[in-house]
Amino acid sequence: MKNDKYYTYTSPFGNIIIVSNGNAITNITLESKINPQCKKEADVLTDKAAGQLEEYFAGKRREFDLPLDPCGSDFQRKVWQALENIPYGQTKSYKQIAQIIDNPKACRAVGLANNKNPIWIMIPCHRVIGSDGKLVGYGGGLAMKQRLLEIELKM
C-alpha cells in the first residue's frame, strides 16, 4: 500500500479516487474513502482508468480493459468475478449470483461481498438488484446506482 498511487478523477458523480499499485487497479472509490498511505500521484494505469471511465460515463465504453487486483477473501473474489460476467446493460439478483458461484444459499454473503467491492463500476456491483427487481444497496447510494444503470440502458 505504501507504493500505491492515486489519482482524483472528477466524474459526473463527484470526485472518484483511482488507486494503482503499478501493476493493476486496486481500488476505485469515493474521495472520502482513500487510504492515507497512498501517494497522490497519477501513473499510466490511473490515467488509463480515468480515460476509460470518461468513455463509460459518456456512453462510449461497454467494457473496461485494465488489469484489476481487488483485495479480498477467496469468496469475495469469486463473487466479484461473477459480477464481471454480468453483461453491460443487464442485471442479476443476489440470488442469481449465489447460484452462479455454486452457493445458492449464500445470498446474504453475496450482498456483503458486493458491499466490499473495492473497484466499483469496473467490477459492476451496480448491476446486482433484489430478487423482486428493485434496486437495493449501493455504496454510492441508490441514486448513483440508478444513474449507472441508466447510462448502460441508453446504449
CA distances from 138 to 101, 115, 120, 125 (A): 21, 7, 10, 8
The answer on 52 and 12 residing in a single domain is: yes
Element (H, E) at 154: helix 142-154
The answer on 144 and 78 residing in a single domain is: yes
Q: Is residue 62 part of a domain?
A: no
The answer on 146 and 100 residing in a single domain is: yes
Q: Is residue 101 part of a domain?
A: yes
| Rounded CA separation 16/54 (Å) | 11
Domain with 144 in it: 74-154
| Segment among 44-48, 128-132, 134-138 with least mean pLDDT | 134-138
SS3 108: helix
The answer on 90 and 51 residing in a single domain is: no
Does residue 32 have a pLDDT over 70?
no
Buried b (16+ CB within 10 A) or exposed e, 33-70: ebeeebeeebbebbebbbebbeebbeeebeebeeebeb
Domain stop point among 13, 32, 57: 57
| Rounded CA separation 85/100 (Å) | 10
The answer on 148 and 78 residing in a single domain is: yes
Residues known to be catalytic: 125
**For the chain, what is the domain count?**
2
Q: Is residue 68 part of a domain?
A: no
User: pLDDT digit string (tens) for 58-86?
Assistant: 989 999 999 999 999 999 999 999 999 99
Q: Is residue 148 part of a domain?
A: yes
